[in-house]
Amino acid sequence: MAYLIRSFDWSSTPVGPVERWPASLKTSTSLILQSPIPMVMLWGEEGVMIYNDGYSVIGGHRHPALLGSNVRDAWPEARDFNDHVMRTGLAGKTLAYRDQEFVLHRKGYPERVWLDLDYSPVLDETGTPAGVIAIVIETTERVIAERRNREEFQRLQNLFSQAPTFMVMLSGPEHRFELVNPEYRKLIGPRDVLGLPVADALPEVAEQGFVELLDHVFQSGEAVNRTSQRVLLRRTEGGVLEERFVDFVYQPIREDGGTVTQIFVQGSDVTDRVRAEIHQKLLINELNHRVKNTLASIQSIVTQTLRGVETKEEAAKAISLRIMALSRAHDVLTRENWEGADLRAVVESSLEAFQVAGRDAIRIGGPDLRVGPHAAISLALALHELATNATKYGALSSPSGNVDVSWSVGPHSEFRMSWTETGGPPVTPSDRRGFGSRLILKVLPLELRGVAHIEYAPSGVVFTLDTSLEAVSDKASGAAS
Protein backbone atom coordinates (compact mmCIF):
# COMPACT_ATOMS: atom_id res chain seq x y z
CA MET A 1 0.00 0.00 0.00
CA ALA A 2 2.91 2.40 0.60
CA TYR A 3 3.99 1.77 -2.99
CA LEU A 4 0.45 2.28 -4.33
CA ILE A 5 0.02 5.50 -2.35
CA ARG A 6 3.33 6.90 -3.61
CA SER A 7 2.50 6.03 -7.26
CA PHE A 8 -1.16 7.13 -7.11
CA ASP A 9 -2.16 10.36 -8.98
CA TRP A 10 -3.59 12.27 -6.06
CA SER A 11 -3.91 15.43 -8.11
CA SER A 12 -7.13 13.99 -9.54
CA THR A 13 -8.65 13.92 -6.04
CA PRO A 14 -9.72 16.64 -3.62
CA VAL A 15 -6.60 15.78 -1.56
CA GLY A 16 -4.24 17.12 -4.22
CA PRO A 17 -0.60 16.11 -5.02
CA VAL A 18 1.35 14.44 -2.23
CA GLU A 19 3.93 17.25 -2.15
CA ARG A 20 1.12 19.63 -1.09
CA TRP A 21 -0.24 17.43 1.69
CA PRO A 22 -0.26 19.05 5.11
CA ALA A 23 1.97 17.51 7.76
CA SER A 24 -1.06 16.15 9.64
CA LEU A 25 -2.13 14.16 6.58
CA LYS A 26 1.35 12.77 5.95
CA THR A 27 1.77 11.84 9.60
CA SER A 28 -1.62 10.11 9.73
CA THR A 29 -0.87 8.24 6.49
CA SER A 30 2.45 7.06 7.85
CA LEU A 31 0.72 5.94 11.04
CA ILE A 32 -1.85 3.75 9.31
CA LEU A 33 0.71 2.25 6.89
CA GLN A 34 2.83 1.02 9.78
CA SER A 35 -0.11 -0.52 11.66
CA PRO A 36 -0.76 -4.25 11.31
CA ILE A 37 -4.39 -3.54 12.17
CA PRO A 38 -6.73 -2.79 9.24
CA MET A 39 -7.09 1.01 9.12
CA VAL A 40 -8.50 3.53 6.68
CA MET A 41 -8.36 7.32 6.70
CA LEU A 42 -11.25 9.31 5.26
CA TRP A 43 -9.90 12.77 4.42
CA GLY A 44 -11.87 15.95 3.98
CA GLU A 45 -15.58 16.47 3.54
CA GLU A 46 -15.60 13.93 0.71
CA GLY A 47 -13.95 11.25 2.84
CA VAL A 48 -11.15 10.41 0.36
CA MET A 49 -9.94 6.90 1.23
CA ILE A 50 -6.31 6.19 2.18
CA TYR A 51 -5.76 2.74 3.75
CA ASN A 52 -3.18 0.14 4.70
CA ASP A 53 -2.54 -3.45 3.69
CA GLY A 54 -4.85 -4.81 6.38
CA TYR A 55 -7.78 -2.85 5.05
CA SER A 56 -7.03 -3.91 1.46
CA VAL A 57 -8.01 -7.45 2.47
CA ILE A 58 -11.32 -6.20 3.83
CA GLY A 59 -11.90 -4.30 0.57
CA GLY A 60 -11.86 -7.57 -1.34
CA HIS A 61 -12.33 -7.24 -5.12
CA ARG A 62 -12.90 -3.49 -4.76
CA HIS A 63 -9.22 -3.02 -3.96
CA PRO A 64 -7.30 -1.12 -5.28
CA ALA A 65 -10.13 0.91 -6.84
CA LEU A 66 -11.05 2.07 -3.36
CA LEU A 67 -7.82 4.04 -3.02
CA GLY A 68 -8.45 7.76 -3.54
CA SER A 69 -12.21 7.34 -3.95
CA ASN A 70 -14.84 9.09 -1.89
CA VAL A 71 -16.13 6.73 0.81
CA ARG A 72 -19.80 7.40 0.10
CA ASP A 73 -19.32 6.44 -3.56
CA ALA A 74 -16.89 3.60 -2.80
CA TRP A 75 -19.42 1.80 -0.63
CA PRO A 76 -22.83 2.83 -2.04
CA GLU A 77 -24.60 0.06 -0.11
CA ALA A 78 -23.42 1.73 3.12
CA ARG A 79 -23.79 5.35 1.97
CA ASP A 80 -26.05 6.49 4.81
CA PHE A 81 -23.87 4.81 7.41
CA ASN A 82 -20.67 6.43 6.08
CA ASP A 83 -22.38 9.80 5.74
CA HIS A 84 -23.20 9.63 9.45
CA VAL A 85 -19.57 8.66 10.21
CA MET A 86 -18.18 11.65 8.28
CA ARG A 87 -20.54 14.15 9.87
CA THR A 88 -19.80 12.81 13.36
CA GLY A 89 -16.02 12.55 12.89
CA LEU A 90 -15.66 16.02 11.33
CA ALA A 91 -17.65 17.37 14.27
CA GLY A 92 -14.81 16.13 16.52
CA LYS A 93 -16.68 13.14 17.95
CA THR A 94 -15.90 9.42 18.06
CA LEU A 95 -17.94 6.37 17.19
CA ALA A 96 -17.60 2.71 18.06
CA TYR A 97 -19.52 -0.35 16.80
CA ARG A 98 -19.20 -4.00 17.70
CA ASP A 99 -20.25 -6.72 15.29
CA GLN A 100 -21.91 -4.18 13.05
CA GLU A 101 -23.73 -6.00 10.27
CA PHE A 102 -23.49 -4.92 6.62
CA VAL A 103 -24.41 -6.34 3.24
CA LEU A 104 -21.41 -5.50 1.05
CA HIS A 105 -20.55 -6.26 -2.56
CA ARG A 106 -16.90 -7.15 -2.10
CA LYS A 107 -16.82 -10.19 -4.38
CA GLY A 108 -19.31 -9.20 -7.04
CA TYR A 109 -22.35 -10.38 -5.07
CA PRO A 110 -24.13 -9.29 -1.87
CA GLU A 111 -22.46 -10.70 1.22
CA ARG A 112 -23.37 -10.39 4.87
CA VAL A 113 -20.40 -9.30 6.93
CA TRP A 114 -19.84 -8.18 10.51
CA LEU A 115 -17.27 -5.58 11.56
CA ASP A 116 -15.88 -3.99 14.72
CA LEU A 117 -15.48 -0.28 13.89
CA ASP A 118 -13.79 2.53 15.82
CA TYR A 119 -13.84 6.07 14.36
CA SER A 120 -11.75 9.01 15.62
CA PRO A 121 -11.30 12.52 14.16
CA VAL A 122 -7.95 13.53 12.59
CA LEU A 123 -6.96 17.08 13.49
CA ASP A 124 -5.07 19.41 11.16
CA GLU A 125 -2.37 21.90 12.20
CA THR A 126 -4.96 24.28 13.60
CA GLY A 127 -6.62 21.58 15.74
CA THR A 128 -9.64 21.41 13.46
CA PRO A 129 -11.01 17.98 12.43
CA ALA A 130 -9.91 17.41 8.86
CA GLY A 131 -10.66 13.73 8.46
CA VAL A 132 -11.59 10.50 10.18
CA ILE A 133 -9.46 7.46 10.99
CA ALA A 134 -11.24 4.11 11.20
CA ILE A 135 -9.95 0.90 12.72
CA VAL A 136 -11.79 -1.91 10.95
CA ILE A 137 -11.72 -5.49 12.27
CA GLU A 138 -13.78 -8.05 10.41
CA THR A 139 -15.58 -10.41 12.84
CA THR A 140 -17.68 -12.31 10.30
CA GLU A 141 -16.16 -15.74 11.00
CA ARG A 142 -16.42 -15.29 14.74
CA VAL A 143 -20.00 -14.01 14.59
CA ILE A 144 -21.09 -16.87 12.34
CA ALA A 145 -19.30 -19.39 14.56
CA GLU A 146 -20.89 -17.93 17.69
CA ARG A 147 -24.30 -17.93 16.08
CA ARG A 148 -23.85 -21.53 15.04
CA ASN A 149 -22.72 -22.38 18.56
CA ARG A 150 -25.70 -20.55 20.02
CA GLU A 151 -28.07 -22.28 17.63
CA GLU A 152 -26.49 -25.64 18.40
CA PHE A 153 -26.61 -24.89 22.11
CA GLN A 154 -30.24 -23.83 21.79
CA ARG A 155 -31.01 -26.98 19.86
CA LEU A 156 -29.38 -29.05 22.57
CA GLN A 157 -31.22 -27.02 25.20
CA ASN A 158 -34.50 -27.74 23.43
CA LEU A 159 -33.65 -31.44 23.29
CA PHE A 160 -32.60 -31.27 26.94
CA SER A 161 -35.82 -29.53 27.94
CA GLN A 162 -38.12 -31.68 25.83
CA ALA A 163 -36.46 -35.00 26.65
CA PRO A 164 -38.95 -37.57 28.05
CA THR A 165 -36.34 -38.63 30.62
CA PHE A 166 -34.75 -36.56 33.39
CA MET A 167 -31.36 -35.01 32.66
CA VAL A 168 -28.88 -33.13 34.84
CA MET A 169 -25.37 -31.74 34.31
CA LEU A 170 -23.24 -31.60 37.47
CA SER A 171 -19.92 -29.73 37.49
CA GLY A 172 -16.83 -29.93 39.66
CA PRO A 173 -15.93 -32.16 42.60
CA GLU A 174 -18.83 -30.70 44.62
CA HIS A 175 -21.28 -31.80 41.90
CA ARG A 176 -22.97 -28.43 41.45
CA PHE A 177 -26.16 -28.35 39.43
CA GLU A 178 -25.34 -26.67 36.12
CA LEU A 179 -28.30 -27.78 33.99
CA VAL A 180 -31.61 -29.32 35.05
CA ASN A 181 -34.45 -30.27 32.72
CA PRO A 182 -38.21 -30.19 33.50
CA GLU A 183 -38.45 -33.96 34.02
CA TYR A 184 -35.85 -33.77 36.79
CA ARG A 185 -37.69 -30.87 38.42
CA LYS A 186 -40.82 -33.01 38.28
CA LEU A 187 -38.93 -35.77 40.10
CA ILE A 188 -37.48 -33.64 42.91
CA GLY A 189 -40.36 -31.18 43.27
CA PRO A 190 -40.30 -27.36 43.16
CA ARG A 191 -36.80 -26.79 44.53
CA ASP A 192 -34.31 -24.28 43.10
CA VAL A 193 -31.16 -26.37 42.85
CA LEU A 194 -29.17 -24.59 40.12
CA GLY A 195 -25.70 -23.57 41.30
CA LEU A 196 -25.94 -25.65 44.48
CA PRO A 197 -23.95 -28.79 45.33
CA VAL A 198 -26.06 -31.94 45.42
CA ALA A 199 -25.37 -32.37 49.15
CA ASP A 200 -26.87 -28.93 49.88
CA ALA A 201 -29.68 -28.99 47.34
CA LEU A 202 -30.89 -32.51 48.15
CA PRO A 203 -29.69 -33.40 51.67
CA GLU A 204 -31.95 -36.45 51.88
CA VAL A 205 -30.28 -37.84 48.74
CA ALA A 206 -26.83 -37.30 50.25
CA GLU A 207 -27.87 -39.33 53.30
CA GLN A 208 -28.69 -42.29 51.04
CA GLY A 209 -25.18 -42.60 49.59
CA PHE A 210 -25.70 -40.99 46.19
CA VAL A 211 -23.07 -38.30 46.75
CA GLU A 212 -20.48 -40.98 47.53
CA LEU A 213 -21.47 -42.67 44.27
CA LEU A 214 -20.96 -39.38 42.40
CA ASP A 215 -17.56 -38.98 44.08
CA HIS A 216 -16.58 -42.42 42.82
CA VAL A 217 -17.58 -41.54 39.24
CA PHE A 218 -15.75 -38.20 39.40
CA GLN A 219 -12.56 -39.72 40.78
CA SER A 220 -12.46 -42.98 38.81
CA GLY A 221 -13.95 -41.78 35.52
CA GLU A 222 -16.13 -44.90 35.44
CA ALA A 223 -19.80 -44.65 34.49
CA VAL A 224 -22.39 -46.08 36.90
CA ASN A 225 -25.75 -47.57 35.93
CA ARG A 226 -28.59 -48.40 38.29
CA THR A 227 -31.95 -50.04 37.57
CA SER A 228 -35.08 -49.73 39.73
CA GLN A 229 -33.04 -47.89 42.36
CA ARG A 230 -35.09 -46.92 45.40
CA VAL A 231 -34.70 -43.31 46.52
CA LEU A 232 -36.53 -41.29 49.18
CA LEU A 233 -37.26 -37.69 48.20
CA ARG A 234 -38.68 -34.79 50.19
CA ARG A 235 -40.55 -33.33 47.24
CA THR A 236 -42.11 -30.45 49.19
CA GLU A 237 -40.50 -28.24 51.82
CA GLY A 238 -41.09 -29.79 55.21
CA GLY A 239 -42.95 -32.68 53.60
CA VAL A 240 -42.55 -36.37 54.29
CA LEU A 241 -40.09 -38.54 52.43
CA GLU A 242 -41.67 -40.12 49.35
CA GLU A 243 -40.52 -43.41 47.90
CA ARG A 244 -39.60 -43.34 44.22
CA PHE A 245 -37.83 -45.80 41.95
CA VAL A 246 -35.47 -44.66 39.18
CA ASP A 247 -33.31 -46.05 36.39
CA PHE A 248 -30.27 -43.81 35.89
CA VAL A 249 -26.71 -43.52 34.62
CA TYR A 250 -23.91 -41.30 35.94
CA GLN A 251 -21.71 -40.56 32.90
CA PRO A 252 -18.35 -38.76 33.48
CA ILE A 253 -17.52 -35.91 31.06
CA ARG A 254 -13.81 -35.34 30.38
CA GLU A 255 -11.94 -32.27 29.14
CA ASP A 256 -9.28 -32.52 26.39
CA GLY A 257 -6.63 -33.62 28.87
CA GLY A 258 -8.78 -36.54 30.04
CA THR A 259 -9.63 -35.07 33.47
CA VAL A 260 -13.24 -35.51 34.58
CA THR A 261 -14.84 -32.08 35.01
CA GLN A 262 -18.55 -32.86 34.89
CA ILE A 263 -21.04 -35.70 35.37
CA PHE A 264 -24.04 -36.10 33.10
CA VAL A 265 -27.02 -37.70 34.83
CA GLN A 266 -29.78 -39.25 32.74
CA GLY A 267 -32.60 -41.50 33.79
CA SER A 268 -36.29 -42.22 34.18
CA ASP A 269 -38.76 -42.28 37.03
CA VAL A 270 -39.97 -45.89 36.89
CA THR A 271 -41.97 -45.83 40.11
CA ASP A 272 -45.21 -46.86 38.41
CA ARG A 273 -43.48 -49.72 36.61
CA VAL A 274 -41.76 -51.02 39.74
CA ARG A 275 -44.92 -50.78 41.80
CA ALA A 276 -46.83 -52.59 39.06
CA GLU A 277 -44.20 -55.34 39.07
CA ILE A 278 -44.40 -55.61 42.87
CA HIS A 279 -48.19 -55.68 42.67
CA GLN A 280 -48.01 -58.34 39.95
CA LYS A 281 -45.77 -60.51 42.11
CA LEU A 282 -48.17 -60.10 45.01
CA LEU A 283 -51.07 -61.02 42.76
CA ILE A 284 -49.26 -64.11 41.50
CA ASN A 285 -48.45 -65.14 45.05
CA GLU A 286 -52.02 -64.44 46.09
CA LEU A 287 -53.31 -66.36 43.09
CA ASN A 288 -51.14 -69.35 44.00
CA HIS A 289 -52.43 -69.14 47.56
CA ARG A 290 -56.06 -68.91 46.46
CA VAL A 291 -55.72 -71.70 43.93
CA LYS A 292 -54.36 -73.96 46.66
CA ASN A 293 -57.18 -72.91 48.98
CA THR A 294 -59.75 -73.44 46.24
CA LEU A 295 -58.41 -76.90 45.45
CA ALA A 296 -58.47 -77.70 49.15
CA SER A 297 -62.10 -76.49 49.35
CA ILE A 298 -63.08 -78.60 46.34
CA GLN A 299 -61.29 -81.60 47.78
CA SER A 300 -63.18 -81.13 51.04
CA ILE A 301 -66.49 -80.69 49.20
CA VAL A 302 -65.95 -83.86 47.20
CA THR A 303 -64.78 -85.90 50.18
CA GLN A 304 -67.57 -84.76 52.49
CA THR A 305 -70.25 -85.09 49.82
CA LEU A 306 -69.26 -88.65 48.93
CA ARG A 307 -69.66 -89.67 52.56
CA GLY A 308 -73.29 -88.64 52.65
CA VAL A 309 -74.72 -89.91 49.36
CA GLU A 310 -75.85 -93.31 48.15
CA THR A 311 -75.61 -93.08 44.34
CA LYS A 312 -73.14 -91.74 41.80
CA GLU A 313 -75.80 -89.54 40.28
CA GLU A 314 -76.64 -87.95 43.62
CA ALA A 315 -72.95 -87.41 44.31
CA ALA A 316 -72.28 -85.86 40.90
CA LYS A 317 -75.23 -83.47 41.24
CA ALA A 318 -74.36 -82.40 44.79
CA ILE A 319 -70.68 -81.89 43.97
CA SER A 320 -71.55 -79.90 40.85
CA LEU A 321 -73.99 -77.61 42.68
CA ARG A 322 -71.59 -76.95 45.53
CA ILE A 323 -68.70 -76.16 43.18
CA MET A 324 -71.02 -73.79 41.25
CA ALA A 325 -71.82 -72.03 44.52
CA LEU A 326 -68.11 -71.67 45.13
CA SER A 327 -67.67 -70.38 41.58
CA ARG A 328 -70.37 -67.70 42.00
CA ALA A 329 -68.63 -66.43 45.13
CA HIS A 330 -65.37 -66.33 43.19
CA ASP A 331 -67.05 -64.29 40.45
CA VAL A 332 -68.16 -61.66 42.95
CA LEU A 333 -64.67 -61.46 44.44
CA THR A 334 -62.97 -61.36 41.04
CA ARG A 335 -64.97 -58.26 40.12
CA GLU A 336 -63.54 -56.64 43.25
CA ASN A 337 -59.95 -57.83 42.55
CA TRP A 338 -60.22 -60.16 45.55
CA GLU A 339 -59.99 -57.21 47.91
CA GLY A 340 -63.36 -58.00 49.49
CA ALA A 341 -66.97 -57.87 48.36
CA ASP A 342 -70.32 -56.29 49.14
CA LEU A 343 -72.21 -58.69 51.42
CA ARG A 344 -75.50 -58.10 49.61
CA ALA A 345 -73.86 -59.06 46.29
CA VAL A 346 -72.48 -62.24 47.87
CA VAL A 347 -75.88 -63.21 49.28
CA GLU A 348 -77.76 -62.44 46.06
CA SER A 349 -75.31 -64.37 43.85
CA SER A 350 -75.42 -67.36 46.22
CA LEU A 351 -79.23 -67.53 46.25
CA GLU A 352 -80.02 -66.41 42.72
CA ALA A 353 -80.48 -69.96 41.45
CA PHE A 354 -83.01 -70.70 44.24
CA GLN A 355 -85.38 -67.76 43.64
CA VAL A 356 -88.90 -68.82 42.66
CA ALA A 357 -90.20 -67.40 39.39
CA GLY A 358 -93.07 -64.98 39.77
CA ARG A 359 -92.56 -64.07 43.45
CA ASP A 360 -89.94 -63.00 45.96
CA ALA A 361 -89.56 -66.27 47.75
CA ILE A 362 -86.23 -65.19 49.22
CA ARG A 363 -86.14 -61.73 50.85
CA ILE A 364 -82.76 -60.18 51.57
CA GLY A 365 -82.08 -57.27 53.91
CA GLY A 366 -79.30 -55.68 55.90
CA PRO A 367 -77.00 -52.66 56.03
CA ASP A 368 -74.32 -52.01 53.42
CA LEU A 369 -71.28 -53.98 54.48
CA ARG A 370 -68.08 -55.20 52.90
CA VAL A 371 -66.73 -58.59 53.85
CA GLY A 372 -63.32 -60.13 53.25
CA PRO A 373 -62.63 -62.77 50.56
CA HIS A 374 -62.39 -65.61 53.08
CA ALA A 375 -65.66 -64.68 54.79
CA ALA A 376 -67.41 -64.22 51.44
CA ILE A 377 -66.62 -67.77 50.32
CA SER A 378 -67.55 -69.28 53.69
CA LEU A 379 -70.90 -67.46 53.80
CA ALA A 380 -71.66 -68.29 50.15
CA LEU A 381 -71.16 -72.02 50.72
CA ALA A 382 -73.26 -71.94 53.91
CA LEU A 383 -76.13 -70.08 52.20
CA HIS A 384 -76.02 -72.57 49.35
CA GLU A 385 -76.43 -75.45 51.79
CA LEU A 386 -79.30 -73.73 53.61
CA ALA A 387 -81.07 -72.97 50.31
CA THR A 388 -80.54 -76.52 49.05
CA ASN A 389 -82.06 -77.92 52.25
CA ALA A 390 -84.96 -75.44 52.06
CA THR A 391 -85.65 -76.49 48.46
CA LYS A 392 -85.69 -80.16 49.34
CA TYR A 393 -87.45 -80.16 52.69
CA GLY A 394 -88.19 -76.61 53.83
CA ALA A 395 -89.91 -73.37 52.88
CA LEU A 396 -88.73 -73.34 49.24
CA SER A 397 -90.35 -76.72 48.64
CA SER A 398 -93.79 -75.11 49.15
CA PRO A 399 -95.47 -72.71 46.68
CA SER A 400 -96.23 -70.34 49.56
CA GLY A 401 -93.03 -70.65 51.54
CA ASN A 402 -90.56 -67.80 52.10
CA VAL A 403 -87.06 -67.29 53.37
CA ASP A 404 -85.81 -64.13 55.06
CA VAL A 405 -82.04 -63.58 55.01
CA SER A 406 -80.88 -60.65 57.12
CA TRP A 407 -77.80 -59.36 58.88
CA SER A 408 -77.06 -56.64 61.39
CA VAL A 409 -74.16 -54.97 63.19
CA GLY A 410 -74.44 -54.28 66.91
CA PRO A 411 -73.18 -51.28 68.90
CA HIS A 412 -69.98 -53.13 69.78
CA SER A 413 -69.28 -54.38 66.24
CA GLU A 414 -71.18 -57.64 66.79
CA PHE A 415 -72.24 -59.24 63.53
CA ARG A 416 -75.34 -61.47 63.21
CA MET A 417 -76.71 -63.20 60.12
CA SER A 418 -80.11 -64.90 60.25
CA TRP A 419 -81.85 -67.38 57.94
CA THR A 420 -85.58 -67.66 58.74
CA GLU A 421 -87.99 -69.94 56.87
CA THR A 422 -91.79 -69.52 57.01
CA GLY A 423 -94.78 -70.97 55.16
CA GLY A 424 -93.25 -74.32 54.43
CA PRO A 425 -94.09 -77.81 55.62
CA PRO A 426 -93.43 -78.67 59.24
CA VAL A 427 -89.81 -79.54 59.83
CA THR A 428 -88.19 -81.82 62.32
CA PRO A 429 -84.55 -82.29 63.18
CA SER A 430 -82.84 -85.20 61.53
CA ASP A 431 -80.40 -87.57 63.13
CA ARG A 432 -78.47 -87.63 59.88
CA ARG A 433 -75.59 -85.20 59.76
CA GLY A 434 -74.53 -84.65 56.17
CA PHE A 435 -72.03 -82.26 54.60
CA GLY A 436 -74.45 -79.33 54.75
CA SER A 437 -75.13 -79.66 58.44
CA ARG A 438 -71.47 -80.00 59.29
CA LEU A 439 -70.67 -76.98 57.10
CA ILE A 440 -73.17 -74.56 58.66
CA LEU A 441 -72.90 -75.72 62.26
CA LYS A 442 -69.21 -76.59 62.61
CA VAL A 443 -67.09 -75.38 59.71
CA LEU A 444 -68.70 -71.93 59.28
CA PRO A 445 -68.44 -70.81 62.94
CA LEU A 446 -64.92 -72.21 63.10
CA GLU A 447 -63.89 -70.32 59.97
CA LEU A 448 -65.45 -67.04 61.15
CA ARG A 449 -64.60 -67.36 64.86
CA GLY A 450 -68.26 -67.31 65.88
CA VAL A 451 -71.20 -69.36 67.08
CA ALA A 452 -73.87 -70.98 64.89
CA HIS A 453 -77.30 -72.14 66.00
CA ILE A 454 -80.14 -73.87 64.14
CA GLU A 455 -83.71 -74.17 65.42
CA TYR A 456 -86.37 -76.38 63.88
CA ALA A 457 -89.37 -74.25 64.76
CA PRO A 458 -92.90 -75.30 63.75
CA SER A 459 -92.98 -72.45 61.25
CA GLY A 460 -89.67 -73.42 59.68
CA VAL A 461 -85.91 -73.58 60.11
CA VAL A 462 -84.20 -70.64 61.81
CA PHE A 463 -80.43 -70.43 61.51
CA THR A 464 -78.26 -67.74 63.14
CA LEU A 465 -74.56 -66.97 63.01
CA ASP A 466 -73.07 -64.67 65.64
CA THR A 467 -69.53 -63.38 65.27
CA SER A 468 -67.67 -60.06 65.06
CA LEU A 469 -67.43 -57.44 62.35
CA GLU A 470 -63.68 -57.96 62.50
CA ALA A 471 -64.08 -61.64 61.64
CA VAL A 472 -66.25 -61.12 58.57
CA SER A 473 -63.79 -58.46 57.41
CA ASP A 474 -61.01 -61.11 57.46
CA LYS A 475 -59.19 -59.17 60.17
CA ALA A 476 -59.71 -61.47 63.09
CA SER A 477 -56.51 -62.69 64.73
CA GLY A 478 -55.67 -66.21 63.59
CA ALA A 479 -58.37 -66.27 60.88
CA ALA A 480 -58.12 -69.33 58.69
CA SER A 481 -56.85 -68.87 55.15
Average pLDDT over residues 419-441: 77
Query: pLDDT at position 431, please?
Result: 60
Whether residue 55 has pLDDT greater than 70: yes
Residues constituting the chain: 481
Q: pTM of the predicted model, to two decimals? A: 0.46
Task: Kindly indicate the confidence band of residue 446, based on its pLDDT and cuts at 50, 70 and 90.
Answer: confident
Whole-Å CA distances, 345 to 60, 94, 223, 348, 421: 94, 94, 57, 5, 21
Q: Which residue has the higher pLDDT, 36 or 291?
A: 36
Q: Write b or e for each residue in 280-301: b if 16 or more Cβ atoms lie within 10 A of its Cβ, otherwise e.
A: eeeeeeeeeebeeeeeebeeeb
Average pLDDT over residues 377-386: 84
Task: Kindly indicate the confidence band of residue 338, based on its pLDDT and cuts at 50, 70 and 90.
Answer: low
Query: pLDDT at position 211, please?
Result: 95
Could you report the per-residue pLDDT of 57-114, keeping only the tens digit for each?
A: 999 999 999 999 999 999 999 999 999 999 999 999 999 999 999 999 988 889 999 9
Q: Which residue has the higher pLDDT, 16 or 327?
A: 16
Could you please state the CATH topology (level 3) that the domain comprising 275-472 is classified under. Heat Shock Protein 90 (3.30.565)
Q: Which residue has the higher pLDDT, 302 or 69?
A: 69
Q: Which residue has the higher pLDDT, 221 or 350?
A: 221
Query: pLDDT at position 439, please?
Result: 74
Q: Which of 34-43, 277-286, 413-422 has the lowest mean pLDDT?
A: 277-286
Could you report the per-residue pLDDT of 184-228, keeping only the tens digit for each?
A: 999 999 889 999 999 999 999 999 999 999 999 999 999 999 999
Q: What does pLDDT average to over the chain?
A: 86
Average pLDDT over residues 334-349: 76
Task: Please provide residue 470's backbone torsions phi and psi, each rounded to the nearest 5 degrees.
Answer: -65, -40
3-state secondary structure 112-151: EEEEEEEEEEEECCCCCEEEEEEEEEECHHHHHHHHHHHH
Whole-Å CA distances, 423 to 387, 398, 403, 481: 15, 7, 9, 38
CB contact set of 162 (below 8 Å; sequence gap of 6+): none
Whether residue 248 has pLDDT greater than 60: yes
Whether residue 378 has pLDDT greater than 90: no
The answer to whether 163-269 and 275-472 have equal CATH topology is no
Task: Kindly indicate the confidence band of residue 334, based on its pLDDT and cuts at 50, 70 and 90.
Answer: low
Query: pLDDT at position 244, please?
Result: 94
Whether residue 18 has pLDDT greater than 70: yes
Query: pLDDT at position 417, please?
Result: 94
Average pLDDT over residues 250-262: 91
For residue 101, the SS3 value is strand
Average pLDDT over residues 432-446: 74
Average pLDDT over residues 136-145: 95
Whether residue 279 has pLDDT greater than 80: no
Task: Kindly indicate the confidence band of residue 232, based on its pLDDT and cuts at 50, 70 and 90.
Answer: very high
Instruction: Decide which of 3.30.420.40, 3.30.450.20, 2.160.10.10, 3.40.50.2300 is the CATH code for 163-269.
Output: 3.30.450.20
Task: Assign domain 2-144 to its CATH superfamily.
Answer: PAS domain (3.30.450.20)
Q: Which residue has the higher pLDDT, 118 or 400?
A: 118
Q: Which residue has the higher pLDDT, 109 or 354?
A: 109
Cα Rg of the chain, angstroms: 49
Spans of all domains in the chain = 2-144, 163-269, 275-472
Task: Please provide residue 228's backbone torsions phi and psi, each rounded to the nearest 5 degrees.
Answer: 55, 40
